[in-house]
Structure 1
Amino acid sequence: MPVTFIGVRHHSPACARLVAETIDELRPAYVLIEGPADFNPRLDELTLGHRLPIAIFSSYRDAERRHASWAPMCDYSPEWTALTHARAVGAVPRFIDLPAWHPAFAGLANRYADAELRYADVMTRLCRSFEVDNVDVLWDHLFENASTDGLATRLDTYFDLVRGDADPGDSDSARESYMSTWVAAAAAAAGDAPVVVVTGGFHRPALVAAHTAGTVPGDDWPAVPHMPDGAIGGSFLVPYSFRRLDAFDGYQSGMPSPGYYQELWESGRQGAARHLVEAVATRLRRRKQPVSTAHLIAAHATAQGLAIVRGHPSPGRTDVLDGLASALVNEALDVPLPWSSRGMLGAGSHPVVVEMVAALSGTRVGRLHPTTPAPPLVHDLDSELERSGLDGTADLDLDLTRAEDRVRSRVLHRVRVLGVPGFRRDSGPATGLEPVLREHWTLRPSTDRLSAVIEAGAYGATLADAAAAALADRAAQAGRDVDALATVLFDAALADLTDISQRTLTDIESSVGSAPDLGPLGRTLAIVLTMWRYGHLFGTARSATLGAVIAAAVRRILWLAEGIRGGDAPADPGRIAALAATRDALHHAEQQLTLNRDAALEVAARLATDPDVPPDLRGAAFGFRWSLSPPPTPTPPAPPTTSDLLSAPQTSAVPSTPAARDTPAARDTPAAPDLPSTVDAFAALDAPTVPGAGRAAGVLDPVRAVRGAFVPRSAGDWLAGLFALAREEVLEHPEVVALLDELMSGLSADDFLVALPALRQAFEYFPPRERETIAERLLARRGLGGSGRRLLRGGLDPAVVAAGMALDDLVDAVLRREGLAS
C-alpha cells in the first residue's frame, strides 16, 4: 500500500511542479487533496473550462454562528495541479478535509492558513540563519529560486521543522484525524497501486505518523458531516482575482505578488524577472513617471549582482525589486520597503514603490464557465434588475415621491446592503432627518460583481431575503453602537425591509437598552422617531419594530440622564438633544406606544431641582416639564360678596396667571418676585402654581425658575437646555424674555464677559425668525422703534461691547479712587 505524502505551501509554483511530476511519474489510483470533502460530488464543476483564479466559497449560518471561507486556486496552486494531473493519468481525485462550515474552521477566514505564521520562533531562527528578512524571502531562497534537485527532501525537512513537537490544537487535530481516515480508506481501496496525498506542509508529519502507525481503520470511505437542522449554507465556485490573492493586499494564506509567480510558473525564473522589469516600467510610464533605458540597465545590473551575492542561480523576486528600487527611488524612504516584511502595503510607502508592488500583483481576474451552477440569488438578482430596468450602465436621478422611482430605489438599496459592486449612490437621504426626497445613482459594470453576488447568496435565495439577513447581521454586530444601529434601521427603511425577525428585534432592543452614552442614543431616537412618524414613503410609519426601539430608547435616556452629575460641566448639545428627542417621543407617541409620561416628568423634576446636576441638564429638565405639562385649569373664583368688595384694597396689581400677563401692559411690566437667593431657586423650579397639583402634573412658574437659575457663570448653559426643550413656550410668555432683558442688563461688565459665550450658544437654539421676534419685543419694551432684523444685523460684536463695558468700569474705579468722580 504505497502512499506518497507531499507537503506543500499553498500557491507555490515549486510545490505545484513537484506535485505534477510526482503524479505523472507514479500514476496513482487515488490523489487525495486538502479540500472540503462535501464538494467531492461536484468536482466536475472544477473542470468546466474556467479562467483561473477561482475559489470554492463556503458559507454557513444558523442561530448562533456565521461563517464564510474561500479556498482559492490559480494555475500554480498545488491543489489545482493535483486535480488536473490526477484526471490526466486516470487517477480518482478526492478532497479529504472537513467541510468548511465545520466548527473546526471557526474563526478561520481563509481555508489555507500558513502554519509558519503561527510558529514565528522557528521562522525567526531560520530567517536569521539564512540572513533574509521574512518568511516569503526565505521561501523564495530555499525553494523558488533554488535548484529542483532534492526538492521533496528539502520540503519534508522544512515542514518537519515547522511542525516540531508543538501541540496542533483542537482544530488541526480534528482535521488531521478526519484526513487520516481518508488516507487509510484510499490505501485499502488501492491495494498495491500508489496513492498520493497533497496537503499543507504543516499537516504532513501528523498524517505520515498516523499512516505509519496503522491505527486508523480503512475499511470504508469516511462519512461526510451534514449541516445541523436549521442551518443554511453551501459551497459554490466564485471568480477570484490576483488582487485578492496578494499578501500585500491583506491575504494572509498565500504568497505575495501573484502576477510574478504566474510568470514564474509559465516562463521560469529568467522570464519572470524580465517580465517583472517590463511590467514595472510600463506601469510607471503610463503614470508619467520618468523611467529611462539607463534606469532599466542599472536595475538589471543591480539585480544580477544581488542574485550572485545571495547565492541565487538567477535573479529572484526580491533581487529584481531591490534592483528597481535602487535605480528608481533616489530619496530617503519614510517606511521600509514592503517586501522586507510580511503583510499589507504600509501607509506612507513611496509612490514608485506602490506602483512596483501593483505591477507584481497583476490584474488577472478569474471567470467562471457559463454553465457553472450558481446560488439562486444570482438568478433572482438578474431578474429584479432586468424587471426594474437597472441591468445596464446608467446615471439615475430618482424622485422618491414617484411610485415607480421608489420601487427602483428599493431594489438598488437591497443591492447596496449586500455590498454588490457597480451600484453607487452619490446622493440621497442619509438619516431621515433631512428633507431630501431625491437620489442619484451611478450604475457601472464590475468584474467583481458575480463573485460578490455568489458570496451574498449565503444570506438567502432572493434579493429581499438576502438583504434582510444581511441587515440582521449588521444589527447584531452593532452591539451597543447605537449610531451604527440607527444606520442599519434607516438602511432597512430605504430597502423596504422593516419586517425583521423577533430575534433581531430583541437584539436591537437589548442594544438600545444598554447604550452607554446619551448623545448617540438621542440621535438614534430622533432618527427612529422621524421614520416612525413620517415614514410613509419608506413604509416605516407606525412600524412595530421602530416603536419597540423608541420605547427602549426613551427608558434608557431617562435612566442615563438621572445618573449624570457634575454641577460645573459646560453645556453638552448631545445630552440636551437626547432629552429633546425623548420629549418629542412622549408628545407624539405616548398613546400608541404606551409611554409613561408621568414617570418621565418625575425624572425631569428630580433633575431640575438637583444642584449636583449640570446646569444645561437642569435647564433641559425644566423645559422638558414645561413643554409637556398641561396648561393651567384654575377653579373659577366664587362671585364676590358685598363685604368682599367693600374690604378689597384699592390698588392695582399685575395679574399672575400666564394668560392675564400676556397683555401689552403686562409685557412692559414684567413680574419680578422677590427671591432672596439663588439657593431658593431650586424650590421655585418645582413649585406648582395650581394649588394641590402634584410634582409631575403641576403648572410651573418659569419666571421664578429663570430668576433663580440666572447665575452668570452658568446662566447660558441653563438657558441652552431650557431653549432647546421649551423654545415655543418661552416665546409664548413675553414676561420671560422681559425678565432675561432685565437680568442681562443688570450684569456687570466682568459678569457679562463670563456669561457671554454660553448665552450666545443658548440663543442659537432660536431660528433667525424667532430671534427677530425677540429683538422686536426688546425694542418695544424700551419704547424704541425700528426693525428687529436690523437690530440683529447691525451693531458691534457683543464681545467688543463687553470689552468696552469692562474698560468703562475700570476708568470709573480709577476716578473714584482718585476722588475725581462726579
Structure 2
Amino acid sequence: MSAETGAPVHVLGVRHHGPGSARSVRDALERLRPDVVLIEGPPEADGLLPLAAHAEMKPPVALLVYAVDKPAQAVFYPFAVFSPEWQAIQYAVQRTLPVRFIDLPQSHRLVPEKEEAPEGEDAEEGEDAQEDAPPHRGDPLGALARAAGYEDGELWWDHLIERRREAEGVFEAVLEAMTALREGEGELSPHEARREAHMRRSIRQAKKDGFQRIAVVCGAWHAPALVQQRPAREDDALLRGLPKAKVAATWIPWTYDRLGWRSGYGAGVESPGWYAHLWLTPHRPVSSWATRIAHLLRAEGLDASSANVIETVRLAEALAALRGLSSPGLSELRDASLAVLCGGDPAPLALVHEKLEVGTGLGEVPSEVPSVPLARDLAARQKSLRLPPSSESKLQELDLRKDLDRERSRLLHRLRLLDIAWGTPEEDPRSSTGTFRETWRLKWEPELAVRVVEASLFGNTVESAATGRVVARASEAAELGTLTALLDASLLAELPGAIDVVLRHVQALSTRSADVPKLMEAFPALAHAVRYGSVRETPTGPIIAIADGLFERILIGLPGACVSLDDEAAHQRRDQLRAMHAAVALLEGAERGEEWAEALGQLVHRDAVHGLVRGAALRLRVEFGKVQDEELGTLSRRALSPAVPPAEAAAWLEGLVSGSALLLLHRQELWAALDGWLSGLTRESFVEHLPLVRRAFADFSTSERRAMAERVKQLSSATARGGAKELMEELDPQRVARVLPVLSTILGVRLGEAG
C-alpha cells in the first residue's frame, strides 16, 4: 500500500502486543524485503536499537525515555517477544538494515506542561505524552467487534488476528476498517495531529535519503493517516516552534504483568503469558498449554494426571465447536481446565492465571546498555550480595550477626531512604530472635528504574545517594519527629555521614521546641535509634545525650500537656504516653524508669487531666509494678463513684483496662469497683454509655472476656460497696440473675448458664 508516488511505502497497521500481529509483520517483511524499516516509537532511542540483537537481551524489556532535569517525567515503551514492533526491530538488525523510530520525539512530549504547547494553543495534559491512544476517541477494537457481533473487542481481535496463521490480506483489511472508523471521528486533538505529522515527515525523509522500499510499522489507528499523505507544508506548520526538553533513553527489564500499562506501547494485554505461549509454540498450542497447567498444579502438590490433560484438551475442543470457533482459545482452555484439572475449584485456576496466563519473570538487558552510575552501582551490589532482582514476591530473612545478611540489610534500608521500594520490611513472627533478625519481602517492579534515575541526582553510589537524600531532607525538616525518623532510618542504613548531620539538626530543633506532644512523638524514635545503634555497633553516645535532654523537658511539661483535652486529643495523648512508656523500657535505665513512673503518678491524681489519660497513666504505673491492690481499689472507687459523670468514668475505665487482660485479671479491688459502678448506673445512663464501656473491652479475646466475667460474677454487693478484701462464699442468686444479662451485653459472651 503505497503512501504516494515515488518509492513504495508499505504501512503495516498493528496492535502493539500480539502473536498474530507479530507473525503477520514478520511474514510481510520477509515478503516485502524493505531496505529500511520505520517504526512508531521514540526517535531518541534510535541509537539503542542495535542492542536489541544482543545475546543477553531477553524480553520482556522496555525503552525508558526520561527528562534529564526531571527524571520523574518519563515514559516506557514495553516490548515482548510477541510484540510486532520487536519482531520488526529483530528483522532489521539481524540483516543490518536501517531501522528508525518515527513518532513525535519525547523531547517535545516531556516538556513541562506550562511550556508544552506552542503560542496560541492550549497545553496538552501531561499524561497525554505517555498515552498511545488519543484521549478523545473510543475503543476502535470495541466498535469493530460490536459490528461483527462480538461483545468483547479483545476476544474479537484474538479470534480474527492473533490466532491467524496466514498474513495475506490482514493489513489491507485492517487499513480498510480503520479508515472507515476514522471517517466519523472528526478532527484529531492537536497532540495526535502532531504525532501523525511527524510520522509523515519521517517517511518523506526516508525517501529523500534514497530508500526504495520502505516498510512502516505503526498502530492500526494511525495507518490511514500515513497512507494518505498530506502536503509537507501542512505538517511542517504543525511541528514548527515546539518546545524541547533534554531527554535520555535506555533499555530496562520489564515484566509481563506490566504489559497492560497504557504508557508508550501499552495495549491492555490481559494474558501476556498465553500470547507468549502462542508465539513460542505455534504448533499444537492447546495440548502443550494443558500440559503446562498440569505441571504447575503438580508442582503445587495437586493431582493432575495425563488422563486429565487429555480430557481437558477434548473438552476445550468441544467447547470451541459449540461456540463456532475453528480452534480453542484461552477462554475454552480456562473453562475446560476449571472443570477437569481443577475439579471445579476456582482457587487453582487463579494460580494458573497468575503463573501462566499473565506470566512471571523479569526480562534481562545487556551490561552495555547505557545507565546512570547509580544504576550500575546498584546492579553490582545486587550481584555481589547474591540478591538478584525478581518480579516474584519473595521473603528474605536476614540475621544481622552474619556479615552477608548485614550488608543486605544495609542495602535495602538505603534504598528505602531513596524511595526505591524493592524491599518492604515485615514483622518477624519469631519474636524471640530479637533485633538481630529482619524479614523483608522483595519484589522488583520495572518502574523502580525511574526511581533509580531520580535518586542519581543525590549521588553516584547507593551510599552517597542515600546520604545526600537524608542530608537534603534533614535541612528541609521543620518537625522534630521527621528528624528523629530520619535518624532512625539512617542508623538502620548505617550512614555515618548522614547520622552526624541529622543529629545536629535534632539538637538544634529540640532546644528550640516547646511543644511537649511533639517532643513525645520524637522520643520513641530516638530510643529505637539507640537500640538499633547498639545492635549495629554504631556509637550511640550523642543520641543518648539528646534523648536524655528531651526526656527531662518532657517530664517537666507533661502535666500541662495533659489538661484541657477534648476526646480526640485525649486519645492522641494516650497513644503518646504508651509510646513513651515503651521507649523508656527500651532504653533500660532504672533511674529514667523511676522518673517516668513518678511523672505518670502526677497525672493519675490530677482531676484536670482527661479521664482517658488518667486511666492510661494508672495502667502504665501498674505495668511498672508501682500500684498495689489497695491503692488500685481506692483509685478505682474514686474514679467510678456516683459523683463522677458516667462519660468521664467510662473514659477512665477505657484508659485503664486497654491492654493485656492478664495484668488486671486478678486485681480484685478493680473488679469490685467496676461491679459497683455498673450496678449504680441508672437505666438511661447505662444505655447511653454502654458503647463506651464495650469499647474498653473490645480488644480482648473471647477467653479473656469470659475470664473477666467469671471474676466479676464472684463478687458480692458488699464487695462493690465497701471494698472488702475477701470474697463472700455464697451469692444471692436473684441478684446474680439480674447482673448476668448486663455483663453478657458488655462483654459479648453468654453467662446465663453459669452456675
Taking structure 2 as the reference length, the TM-score comes to: 0.62
Structure 1 window deviating more from structure 2 (796-805 vs 385-394): it is 385-394
Question: Partner of 1:260 in structure 2?
Answer: 274
**8 Å CA contact retained: 1:6, 1:199:** yes
**8 Å CA contact retained: 1:396, 1:441:** yes
Q: Give me the whole-angstrom Cα distance separating, in 2, the residues matched to 1:260 and 1:753.
A: 62
Structure 1 window deviating more from structure 2 (487-496 vs 718-727): it is 718-727
**8 Å CA contact retained: 1:29, 1:190:** no
1:190 equivalent in alignment to 2:190: no
1:359 equivalent in alignment to 2:359: no
Q: CA deviation at 1:746?
A: 9.7
| 1:767-782 correspondence to structure 2 within 5 Å | none
Q: 1:528 to 1:357 in 2, by over 3 A?
A: closer
**What is the RMSD computed on CA atoms of the aligned residues?**
6.4
Q: Give me the whole-angstrom Cα distance separating, in 1, the residues matched to 2:306 and 2:84.
A: 38
The counterpart of 2:173, out of the listed 154, 158, 170, is: 154
Q: CA deviation at 1:155?
A: 1.6
The counterpart of 1:804, out of the listed 702, 717, 721, is: 717
Question: Partner of 1:143 in structure 2?
Answer: 161
Question: Partner of 1:495 in structure 2?
Answer: 493
1:75 equivalent in alignment to 2:81: yes
Q: CA deviation at 1:9?
A: 0.9
Q: 1:528 to 1:795 in 2, by over 3 A?
A: closer
**8 Å CA contact retained: 1:531, 1:541:** no
Q: Give me the whole-angstrom Cα distance separating, in 1, the residues matched to 2:487 and 2:415.
A: 16
One-letter amino acid of the counterpart of residue 165, structure 1: E
Question: Partner of 1:456 in structure 2?
Answer: 452
Q: Give me the whole-angstrom Cα distance separating, in 1, the residues matched to 2:663 and 2:350.
A: 58
1:28 equivalent in alignment to 2:34: yes
Q: 1:726 to 1:464 in 2, by over 3 A?
A: same
Q: Give me the whole-angstrom Cα distance separating, in 1, the residues matched to 2:193 and 2:624.
A: 71
Q: CA deviation at 1:499?
A: 7.2
Question: Partner of 1:687 in structure 2?
Answer: none
Q: 1:142 to 1:541 in 2, by over 3 A?
A: farther
Q: Deviation per CA, 1:217-248: give whole Å up to 9, x if none.
A: 789x99998644xxxx7432233344544789
Secondary structure at 1:314's aligned position in 2?
Answer: coil
One-letter amino acid of the counterpart of residue 42, structure 2: P
One-letter amino acid of the counterpart of residue 218, structure 2: T
The counterpart of 1:758, out of the listed 652, 666, 678, is: 652
Q: Deviation per CA, 1:43-98: give whole Å up to 9, x if none.
A: 22222223531423426467767134432223322112222223456641111234
**8 Å CA contact retained: 1:23, 1:86:** no
Question: Partner of 2:330 in structure 1?
Answer: 317
Q: Deviation per CA, 1:721-767: give whole Å up to 9, x if none.
A: 665899999989x9x97995596399469999994783473387999
Q: Deviation per CA, 1:111-138: give whole Å up to 9, x if none.
A: 9856399855655554444444523212
One-letter amino acid of the counterpart of residue 491, structure 1: A
1:178 equivalent in alignment to 2:174: no
Q: CA deviation at 1:578?
A: 4.1
1:46 equivalent in alignment to 2:44: no
One-letter amino acid of the counterpart of residue 262, structure 1: A
Question: Partner of 1:381 in structure 2?
Answer: 378
Question: Partner of 2:589 in structure 1?
Answer: none
Question: Partner of 1:368 in structure 2?
Answer: 365
Q: 1:143 to 1:411 in 2, by over 3 A?
A: closer
Question: Partner of 1:673 in structure 2?
Answer: none
Higher alpha-carbon Rg: 1
Q: Give me the whole-angstrom Cα distance separating, in 1, the residues matched to 2:665 and 2:313.
A: 75
**8 Å CA contact retained: 2:316, 2:333:** yes
Q: 1:296 to 1:803 in 2, by over 3 A?
A: same
The counterpart of 2:399, out of the listed 397, 405, 419, is: 397
| 1:443-482 correspondence to structure 2 within 5 Å | 456-460=452-456, 461-467=460-466
**8 Å CA contact retained: 1:396, 1:440:** yes
Q: Give me the whole-angstrom Cα distance separating, in 1, the residues matched to 2:446 and 2:336.
A: 39
Q: 1:179 to 1:309 in 2, by over 3 A?
A: same
Structure 1 window deviating more from structure 2 (279-288 vs 168-177): it is 168-177
One-letter amino acid of the counterpart of residue 49, structure 1: A
Taking structure 1 as the reference length, the TM-score comes to: 0.57
Question: Partner of 1:410 in structure 2?
Answer: 410
Q: Gaps spanning 5+ residues in structure 1: where? A: 334-348, 509-517, 586-622, 629-657, 659-699, 776-793, 815-822
One-letter amino acid of the counterpart of residue 720, structure 1: G
- The one of the two structures with greater contact order (alpha-carbon pairs below 8 A, sep at least 6) is 2
Q: 1:169 to 1:748 in 2, by over 3 A?
A: same
1:103 equivalent in alignment to 2:102: no
1:299 equivalent in alignment to 2:312: yes
Q: 1:214 to 1:45 in 2, by over 3 A?
A: same
**8 Å CA contact retained: 1:68, 1:109:** no
Q: Gaps spanning 5+ residues in structure 2: where? A: 1-5, 114-124, 390-394, 507-515, 584-594, 670-706, 723-730, 736-755
One-letter amino acid of the counterpart of residue 368, structure 1: V
One-letter amino acid of the counterpart of residue 804, structure 1: S
The counterpart of 2:99, out of the listed 86, 93, 97, is: 93
| 1:562-601 correspondence to structure 2 within 5 Å | 569=567, 572-578=570-576
**8 Å CA contact retained: 2:613, 2:655:** no
1:238 equivalent in alignment to 2:252: yes
Q: Give me the whole-angstrom Cα distance separating, in 1, the residues matched to 2:361 and 2:383.
A: 29
Q: Give me the whole-angstrom Cα distance separating, in 1, the residues matched to 2:95 and 2:643.
A: 98
Q: 1:34 to 1:112 in 2, by over 3 A?
A: farther
1:10 equivalent in alignment to 2:16: yes
Question: Partner of 1:612 in structure 2?
Answer: none
Secondary structure at 1:411's aligned position in 2?
Answer: helix
Q: CA deviation at 1:186?
A: 1.9
Q: Give me the whole-angstrom Cα distance separating, in 2, the residues matched to 1:753 and 1:797.
A: 25
One-letter amino acid of the counterpart of residue 276, structure 2: Q
One-letter amino acid of the counterpart of residue 265, structure 1: W
Question: Partner of 1:280 in structure 2?
Answer: 293
Secondary structure at 1:367's aligned position in 2?
Answer: coil
Q: Give me the whole-angstrom Cα distance separating, in 2, the residues matched to 1:771 and 1:266.
A: 67
Q: Deviation per CA, 1:660-708: give whole Å up to 9, x if none.
A: xxxxxxxxxxxxxxxxxxxxxxxxxxxxxxxxxxxxxxxx9997x53x8
Question: Partner of 1:199 in structure 2?
Answer: 218
One-letter amino acid of the counterpart of residue 115, structure 1: A
Question: Partner of 1:647 in structure 2?
Answer: none
**8 Å CA contact retained: 1:426, 1:439:** no
Q: Deviation per CA, 1:479-525: give whole Å up to 9, x if none.
A: 99x99998776434422459789xx99xx9xxxxxxxxx99x89853
**8 Å CA contact retained: 2:104, 2:198:** yes
Q: CA deviation at 1:152?
A: 0.8
Q: CA deviation at 1:139?
A: 0.9
**8 Å CA contact retained: 2:524, 2:579:** no
Q: Deviation per CA, 1:643-668: give whole Å up to 9, x if none.
A: xxxxxxxxxxxxxxx9xxxxxxxxxx
One-letter amino acid of the counterpart of residue 463, structure 1: V
One-letter amino acid of the counterpart of residue 103, structure 1: L
Secondary structure at 1:141's aligned position in 2?
Answer: helix
**8 Å CA contact retained: 2:13, 2:175:** yes
Q: Give me the whole-angstrom Cα distance separating, in 1, the residues matched to 2:105 and 2:50.
A: 18
Structure 1 window deviating more from structure 2 (105-114 vs 150-159): it is 105-114
